[in-house]
C-alpha cells in the first residue's frame, strides 16, 4: 500500500516516527525548512511539515478573515475561538500522538476497511444473518439501527471542532475523527440493510429508525445531550463536551458494550466489526487526552475551566449511555444491567480523565 | 467482498435528518453560519448529490492516489529535473504554491462548515469527504513545495504567503476568506463549489497540468491533475444546493451569489493563471492562450451550466467579462512585471520577438496596444537603465479585489472609455474600484467589505512606515533576496527573432 512521505536519507526515523538529524554537530548547516518554524535544531518530520502553522487566521489582526472586521464570521471566531476562555500561548506546540497526516490516515483506514470487509465476507459466506435469533434482531432495531442518527451528530460536532480549533494539529485530528464517524455510520447502514434482507421488517427503512431516535424514551437522554452538544459553540467547550464526555460515554454503549452483548447473542459479526471500529475510538481518546494534558502543562490555570466543562457534560452523557444500555436488556441474552453499564461508563471516564491529568 | 452493493444501503446514510427538540433550529443552524435563506428545514432534506461514494471506496482510492503521486515526487526529488526547467515556468510554480497551497488547506474549513451547518445529512456527508480532500490538497502541495526548498528558497512562500501582507497574498486571502473561510454554508456551496471549483480550478489544475507535462514538469503535473480528480467530486455539492434555492423562490439570491464570486474568481485567476499561461510558460509549450483556455473551460462551461439550471448569464457577461478577456491580464502583467519587487516570484516578461509574434496571433492588435509599452521597457533594459523599469510610487488598489487598478492600461489599449477608476462614497469614506462589477459587489453587501482597508489605504493611513517602497516591501514580508526580479535577467530584451523555418525544423 502507501508508504510514508520519503524523508531525507541523511536522517533516520526513530520508532516513534520522529525524524532526528543525522548530525547536530557544530558547523553543520541548519535543516532547511519553512522559515515560519524558526530556528529549528532538528529536521521537522513530514507530519510537522504539512501541519505546522497552517491557520494563518488565528489571532490575526485586526480580525481572522480578510474582510470587514465586524462581519458575522469574524465576530463568530473572535468570540468562540480567540475569545474562548481556553487559551494557551502556543497551540502550535501540540502534537497528535498518532501524528496523522492525510496520507497516513487514508492508508491506515484503507487497511482497516480491508479487515472489516474480510470479516463481513467470512460471516456472509456462512449465511450468518439467518442464524440470528429474531429477538436479537428486534433488539438491534431499537439500539443499533437508529444509532446512525447519534453518530451523525458526533460527526457534525467533530467537524465544528475542526473548523474552530486554533491550530491545524488539532483541526486535522478532529476532521479525521469526523471521517471515522462517517465510516461507522456506513457500517451501521450496511448491517441494517443486510439484516432487513434476511429478517424482513423495516430495518432497512429510514422512517422507523428515525421514529425510534426521535420518540423512544430510551433514546431521549442521549438525543438531548447530543442536540445540546451541537450548540456548545465555544471551541474549548465543544472539545471537552464531545471528546472528554459525550463521545466516550456513548461509544462505550454503542460500540463496546454492544459488541460484548452481540457476542453473547451469537452475533460474532457485529462483535468483530465493533472491535475493529473501536480502534478509531481509542485514537480519539489518545489525542484528546494528549490535548488536555498539553493545555494543563502549558497553563495550569486552565484546570478549573476544563474540570467545570467535564462536570457540566459528563453526567448528562452518562445518563444518555445508561438509558441506552437499558435497551440491551431486551436481548435474548440480556446485556449487563443498565446500572452496571452506567458504573462502567463512570469508571472508564475516570480512567480517561486520569489520562488527561484531570 | 461484502455482498451488498453500495446502492443497496447508501440511502440509509443520507437520510439522517431529524426534527430538533431540545434546541431550536436557529440555535443549531444559526443564520451566521448556515443562512438557509428562509428555505424550510424539510425542503433541504431533498438535497441529492449526483456523485456517490462509500467511505471504503474513498480511502482505497485516495490511498492509491497518494501513493502514486508521492512516489513521483520522491523519484523527481533525486533528479535535476527542477533545476533544468525553464525559469519562467519555475516562477509559475512558485506563484502557484504561494497562492494555492494554504488556501486549499483552509478550503477544508469551508467544507467542514458545510459538513456541520449544511442543512441535509447527505450534504454534510459529501462535505465531510470534501473536508478530507482539502486537507489532502493543502498537505500534499505543501509537501511538494517543501521538497523544493534546497533548489528554490522562494518555495517557502507556499507556507508563509498567507501569513504575510504581500499584496497578492492579501488579494488571495480576501478572495478565499470571502468565498469560504469567512462564509456561511449555503453561500459556500454556491460560491466555492458551484462557481469556483467547477470552473476555475479546472483552469488552474487541468490547464496548468497539461502545460506542466509539455514543459517536462512531471512532478507538478502529477500533483495537480491528481488534485483535480478530488475537486471534480466534491464540486458537485453546488448543484443540489442551487436546485433547492431555485425551487424555493431564491433564484435571484442564488444568481447574486454566483455573479459575485464568479467576478472575484475571474480577477484573481487572471492574475495567477493568466500570467502563468501566457507569459511564464515557455513559448514552445504555449499552444493555447489563456483566452482560449478561458473560452473552453469557463465561458462555454458556465454558459452550459447556467442554461441547465435556468439561470441567467451574469449581467456583466458581455460588456465587462468578455471584454476583459482581451486585455485585463495583459494589463496586470505589465503592472506585476513593473512592480516585480513586490511579488514573491520572478516575473518572466515573456515578450521576446518570437513571443510577440505569438501574442499578435492570439490577441490581434497586441503589439499596438500592449507591445508599445514593452518597446520602451525593452529599450531601457538594452541600455542597462534598469532603474527606469522599476517603480518609485504605488498604484491604486481596488477596494474589492485588492488588485492594483489597471484601468489606464485598459484605456490605452482601447478597451475602456476612461482611465478613471470607479469610486463610491459610503458612510463618509471613499472607496475605489477597478471595474463596474467590483463596485457592484461592494454595493450589494457593503457591510461585508466596508470596514476593510487595502494595502494602499494602510499606507495612506500611516500603518506602513516609512511610507516608501522599502517600507512597503518590509510590511509585505519581502526580504531583499525574495523580492521578484526579471526571471531571465532581461534576456528577452536582447533576443532576436528566430528564422521563420526554425520552429518547423526543430
Q: Which residue has the higher pLDDT, A217 or B305?
A: A217
Asked if A56's CB is within 8 angstroms of B163's CB, the reply is: yes
Residue A4 pLDDT > 80, yes or no? no
Average pLDDT over residues B467-492: 95
In a domain, B2, yes or no: no
Residue/partner pairs of A335-344 with CB below 8 Å, 24 or more apart: A335/A257, A335/A258, A335/A260, A335/A261, A335/A264, A336/A257, A336/A260, A336/A261, A341/A252, A341/A253, A341/A257, A342/A318, A344/A252, A344/A257
Distances (CA, A) of A309 to A171, A316, B431: 20, 12, 46
Average pLDDT over residues B75-102: 93
| B185 near A CB under 8 A | no
pLDDT, tens only, A236-246:
999 999 999 99
When scoring B118, B161, B181, B442 by the number of chain A Cβ atoms within 10 A, the one with the most, hence best to mutate, is: B181
Asked if B173's CB is within 8 angstroms of A163's CB, the reply is: no
Range of the domain at B57: 49-312+322-500
In a domain, B506, yes or no: no
Please name the helix (run of DSSP H) or strand (run of DSSP E) that holds residue B45, with its range, or none: none
**Domains in chain A, start-ordered, CATH in brackets?**
92-356 (1.10.620.20)
pLDDT, tens only, B226-238:
998 898 888 889 9
When scoring B52, B75, B139 by the number of chain A Cβ atoms within 10 A, the one with the most, hence best to mutate, is: B139
In a domain, B33, yes or no: no
pLDDT, tens only, B376-396:
999 999 999 999 999 988 899
When scoring A3, A4, A5, A320 by the number of chain B Cβ atoms within 10 A, the one with the most, hence best to mutate, is: A5
Q: Which residues does chain A have within 8 Å of residue B108's beta carbon, measured at their own beta carbons?
A: 162, 171, 175
| B77 near A CB under 8 A | yes
Of the candidates B12, B115, B159, the beta carbon closest to that of A36 is on: B159
Nearest-Cα distance to chain A for B491, in Å, is 31
Beta bridge partners of B425: B430
Residue B141 pLDDT > 60, yes or no? yes
pLDDT, tens only, B329-349:
999 999 999 999 999 999 999
Residue B21 pLDDT > 70, yes or no? yes
In a domain, B298, yes or no: yes
Please report, for the domain that includes residue B197, its CATH number: 1.10.620.20
Please name the helix (run of DSSP H) or strand (run of DSSP E) that holds residue A191, with its range, or none: helix A168-199
- Structural contact between residues A243 and A309, judged by C-beta atoms closer than 8 angstroms: no
In a domain, B127, yes or no: yes
Residue A9 pLDDT > 70, yes or no? no
Asked if A210's CB is within 8 angstroms of B2's CB, the reply is: no
Q: What per-residue confidence (pLDDT) applies to B386? A: 97
Q: What per-residue confidence (pLDDT) applies to A29? A: 63
Nearest-Cα distance to chain B for A77, in Å, is 9
When scoring B53, B64, B135, B140 by the number of chain A Cβ atoms within 10 A, the one with the most, hence best to mutate, is: B135
pLDDT, tens only, A74-130:
999 999 999 999 999 999 999 999 999 999 999 999 999 999 999 999 999 999 999
In a domain, B26, yes or no: no
Q: What per-residue confidence (pLDDT) applies to A47? A: 98
pLDDT, tens only, A250-298:
999 999 999 999 999 999 999 999 999 999 999 999 999 999 999 999 9
CB proximity list for B300: less than 8 A, separation 6 or greater: none
d(CA B415, CA B324): 8
H helix and E strand count, chain B: 30, 2
Number of compact structural domains in chain B:
1
* Residue B189: strand, helix, or coil: helix
- Structural contact between residues B160 and A35, judged by C-beta atoms closer than 8 angstroms: yes
In a domain, B220, yes or no: yes
Nearest-Cα distance to chain B for A350, in Å, is 28
Asked if B156's CB is within 8 angstroms of A56's CB, the reply is: no
Average pLDDT over residues B236-259: 96
Q: Which residues does chain A have within 8 Å of residue B42's beta carbon, measured at their own beta carbons?
A: none
Q: What per-residue confidence (pLDDT) applies to B505? A: 38
The CB density around residue B306, as the number of other CB atoms within 10 Å, is 17
* Residue B148: strand, helix, or coil: coil
Q: How many CB pairs under 8 A join A and B?
A: 262
Nearest-Cα distance to chain B for A357, in Å, is 30
Q: What per-residue confidence (pLDDT) applies to A19? A: 36
* Residue B404: strand, helix, or coil: strand
d(CA B260, CA B145): 32
Asked if B128's CB is within 8 angstroms of A159's CB, the reply is: yes
In a domain, B111, yes or no: yes
Q: What per-residue confidence (pLDDT) applies to B173? A: 98
- Structural contact between residues B165 and B247, judged by C-beta atoms closer than 8 angstroms: no
Q: Which residues does chain A have within 8 Å of residue B146's beta carbon, measured at their own beta carbons?
A: 33-34, 49-50
Question: What single string gives the DSSP state of each residue in A50-105?
Answer: TTTT--TTTT-SS-SSSS-TTSHHHHHHIIIIITSS---S-GGG---TT---HHHH
Tell me the pLDDT band of B203, cut-offs 50, 70 and 90: confident
The candidate with the shortest Cα–Cα distance to A100, out of A267, A290, A251, A265, is A290
| B5 near A CB under 8 A | no
Q: What per-residue confidence (pLDDT) applies to B387? A: 96
Least confident of A3-7, A324-328, A343-347, B262-266: A3-7
pLDDT, tens only, A295-317:
999 999 999 999 999 999 999 99
Amino acid at each position: 500500500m502507501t508508504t510514508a512521505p520519503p524523508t531525507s536519507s541523511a536522517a533516520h526515523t526513530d520508532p516513534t516516527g520522529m525524524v532526528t538529524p543525522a548530525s547536530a554537530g557544530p558547523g553543520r548547516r541548519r535543516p532547511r525548512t519553512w522559515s515560519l518554524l524558526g530556528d529549528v535544531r532538528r529536521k521537522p518530520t513530514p507530519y510537522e511539515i504539512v501541519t505546522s502553522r497552517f491557520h494563518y487566521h488565528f489571532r490575526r489582526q485586526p480580525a481572522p478573515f480578510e474582510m470587514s472586521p465586524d462581519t458575522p464570521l469574524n465576530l463568530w471566531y473572535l468570540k468562540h475561538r480567540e475569545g474562548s476562555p481556553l487559551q494557551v500561548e502556543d497551540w502550535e506546540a501540540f502534537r497528535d500522538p498518532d501524528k496523522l497526516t492525510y496520507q497516513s490516515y487514508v492508508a491506515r483506514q484503507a487497511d482497516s476497511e480491508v479487515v472489516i470487509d474480510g470479516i463481513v465476507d467470512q460471516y456472509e459466506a456462512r449465511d450468518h444473518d439467518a442464524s440470528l435469533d429474531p429477538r436479537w434482531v428486534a433488539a438491534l432495531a431499537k439500539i443499533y439501527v437508529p444509532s446512525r442518527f447519534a453518530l451523525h451528530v458526533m460527526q457534525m460536532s467533530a467537524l465544528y471542532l475542526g473548523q474552530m480549533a486554533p491550530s491545524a494539529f488539532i483541526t486535522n485530528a478532529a476532521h479525521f475523527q469526523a471521517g471515522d464517524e462517517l465510516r461507522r455510520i456506513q457500517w451501521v447502514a450496511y448491517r441494517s440493510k443486510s439484516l432487513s434482507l434476511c429478517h424482513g421488517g423495516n430495518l432497512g427503512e429510514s422512517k422507523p429508525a428515525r421514529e425510534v431516535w426521535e420518540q423512544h424514551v430510551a433514546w431521549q437522554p442521549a438525543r438531548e445531550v447530543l442536540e445540546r452538544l451541537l450548540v456548545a459553540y465555544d471551541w474549548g467547550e465543544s472539545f471537552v463536551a464531545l471528546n472528554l464526555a459525550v463521545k466516550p460515554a456513548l461509544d462505550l454503549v454503542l460500540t463496546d458494550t454492544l459488541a460484548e452483548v452481540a457476542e453473547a447473542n451469537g452475533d460474532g459479526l457485529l462483535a468483530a466489526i465493533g472491535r475493529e471500529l473501536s480502534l478509531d475510538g481509542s485514537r480519539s481518546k489518545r489525542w484528546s487526552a494528549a490535548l488536555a494534558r498539553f493545555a494543563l502543562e502549558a497553563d495550569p490555570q486552565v484546570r478549573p475551566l476544563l474540570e467545570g466543562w467535564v462536570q457540566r457534560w459528563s453526567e448528562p452523557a452518562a445518563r444518555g449511555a445508561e438509558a441506552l444500555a437499558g435497551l440491551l436488556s431486551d436481548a435474548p441474552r440480556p446485556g449487563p444491567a443498565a446500572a452496571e453499564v452506567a458504573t462502567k461508563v463512570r469508571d472508564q471516564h475516570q480512567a480517561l480523565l486520569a489520562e488527561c491529568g484531570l | 467482498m461484502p455482498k451488498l452493493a453500495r446502492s443497496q444501503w447508501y440511502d440509509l446514510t443520507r437520510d439522517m435528518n431529524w426534527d430538533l427538540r431540545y434546541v431550536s433550529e436557529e440555535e443549531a443552524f444559526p443564520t451566521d453560519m448556515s443562512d438557509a435563506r428562509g428555505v424550510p428545514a424539510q425542503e433541504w432534506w431533498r438535497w441529492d448529490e449526483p456523485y456517490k461514494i462509500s467511505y471504503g471506496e474513498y480511502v482505497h482510492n485516495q490511498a492509491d492516489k497518494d501513493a502514486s503521486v508521492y512516489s513521483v515526487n520522491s523519484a523527481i526529488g533525486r533528479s535535476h529535473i527542477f533545476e533544468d526547467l525553464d525559469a519562467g515556468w519555475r516562477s509559475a510554480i512558485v506563484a502557484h504554491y504561494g497562492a494555492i497551497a494554504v488556501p486549499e488547506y483552509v478550503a477544508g474549513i469551508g467544507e467542514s462548515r458545510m459538513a456541520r451547518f449544511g442543512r441535509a445529512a447527505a450534504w454534510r456527508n459529501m462535505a465531510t469527504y470534501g473536508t478530507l480532500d482539502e486537507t489532502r490538497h493543502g498537505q500534499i502541495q505543501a509537501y511538494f513545495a517543501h521538497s523544493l526548498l534546497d533548489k528554490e528558497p522562494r518555495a517557502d512562500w507556499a507556507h508563509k504567503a498567507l501569513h504575510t501582507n504581500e499584496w497578492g497574498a492579501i488579494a488571495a486571502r480576501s478572495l478565499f476568506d470571502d468565498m469560504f473561510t469567512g462564509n456561511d454554508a449555503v453561500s459556500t456551496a454556491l460560491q466555492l463549489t458551484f462557481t469556483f471549483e467547477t470552473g476555475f480550478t479546472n483552469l488552474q489544475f487541468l490547464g496548468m497540468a497539461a502545460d506542466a507535462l509539455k514543459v517536462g514538469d512531471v512532478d507538478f503535473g502529477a500533483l495537480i491533475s491528481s488534485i483535480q480528480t478530488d475537486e471534480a467530486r466534491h464540486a458537485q455539492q453546488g448543484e443540489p444546493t442551487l436546485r433547492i434555492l431555485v425551487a424555493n423562490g431564491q433564484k435571484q439570491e442564488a444568481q447574486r451569489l454566483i455573479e459575485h464570486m464568479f467576478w472575484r474568481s475571474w480577477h484573481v485567476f487572471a492574475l495567477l493563471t493568466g500570467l502563468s499561461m501566457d507569459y511564464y510558460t515557455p513559448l514552445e509549450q504555449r499552444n493555447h492562450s489563456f483566452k482560449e483556455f478561458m473560452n473552453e473551460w469557463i465561458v462555454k462551461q458556465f454558459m452550459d451550466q447556467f442554461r441547465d439550471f435556468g439561470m441567467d448569464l451574469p449581467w456583466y457577461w458581455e460588456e465587462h467579462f468578455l471584454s476583459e478577456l482581451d486585455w485585463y491580464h495583459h494589463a496586470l502583467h505589465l503592472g506585476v512585471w513593473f512592480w516585480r519587487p513586490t511579488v514573491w516570484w520572478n516575473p518572466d516578461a515573456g515578450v521576446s520577438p518570437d513571443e510577440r509574434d505569438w501574442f499578435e496571433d492570439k490577441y490581434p492588435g497586441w503589439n499596438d496596444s500592449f507591445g508599445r509599452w514593452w518597446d520602451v521597457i525593452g529599450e531601457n533594459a538594452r541600455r542597462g537603465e534598469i532603474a527606469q523599469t522599476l517603480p518609485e510610487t504605488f498604484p491604486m488598489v481596488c477596494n474589492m479585489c485588492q488588485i492594483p487598478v489597471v484601468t489606464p492600461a485598459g484605456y490605452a489599449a482601447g478597451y475602456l472609455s476612461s482611465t478613471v477608476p470607479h469610486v463610491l462614497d459610503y458612510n463618509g469614506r471613499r472607496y475605489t474600484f477597478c471595474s463596474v462589477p467590483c463596485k457592484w459587489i461592494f454595493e450589494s453587501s457593503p457591510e461585508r467589505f466596508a470596514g476593510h482597508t487595502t494595502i494602499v489605504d494602510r499606507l495612506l493611513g500611516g500603518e506602513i512606515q516609512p511610507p516608501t517602497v522599502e517600507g512597503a516591501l518590509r510590511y509585505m514580508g519581502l526580504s531583499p533576496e525574495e523580492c521578484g526580479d526579471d526571471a531571465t535577467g532581461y534576456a528577452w530584451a536582447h533576443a532576436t527573432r528566430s528564422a521563420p523555418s526554425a520552429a518547423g525544423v526543430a
